[in-house]
């Protein structure tokens, strides 16, 4: 039996539409669409995607709507999201918390 998702709701992953069911996470929708890795480790370049699936291991980091290092396994999928694979070699933006002294 096919587990194909039929949904009008999609987000974009590196520019490609990914369908999702209501209540599904970004990671769940990617896995259901056959995408199993979306970043690589810094040292050895090993592929990473879902591992623990419960927000503990941080293996599933990606960018969602410009916010880097989001855990795909606990991020709810929403229509129109711009989801991107992560580049571990790019520097993280440095932003001070609101109200912090410069």
Least spacing, CB of residue 101 vs ligand FES, in Å: 33
Instruction: Check binding of 76 to ligand FES (CB under 6 A).
Output: no
Q: Which parts of 8-67 interact with ligand FES (CB under 6 A)?
A: 50-53, 55-60
What is the closest distance, in whole angstroms, from the C-beta atom of residue 71 to ligand FES in the complex?
Answer: 4
Q: Are 13 and 30 in contact (CB under 8 A)?
A: yes
The whole-angstrom separation of Cα 45 and Cα 43 is 6
Which SS3 state, helix, strand or coil, does residue 23 take? coil
Cβ nearer to ligand FES, comparing 58 with 78: 58
Binding stretches for ligand FES (CB under 6 A): 50-53, 55-60, 71, 73
């Amino acid at each position: 039996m096919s587990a194909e998702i039929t949904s009008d709701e999609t987000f974009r992953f590196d520019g490609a539409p990914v369908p999702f069911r209501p209540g599904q996470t970004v990671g769940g929708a990617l896995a259901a669409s056959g995408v199993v890795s979306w970043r690589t480790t810094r040292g050895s370049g090993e592929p990473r995607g879902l591992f623990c699936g419960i927000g503990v291991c941080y293996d599933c980091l990606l960018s969602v709507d410009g916010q880097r290092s989001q855990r795909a396994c606990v991020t709810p999928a929403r229509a129109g999201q711009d989801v991107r694979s992560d580049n571990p070699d790019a520097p993280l933006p440095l932003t001070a918390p609101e109200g912090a002294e410069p």
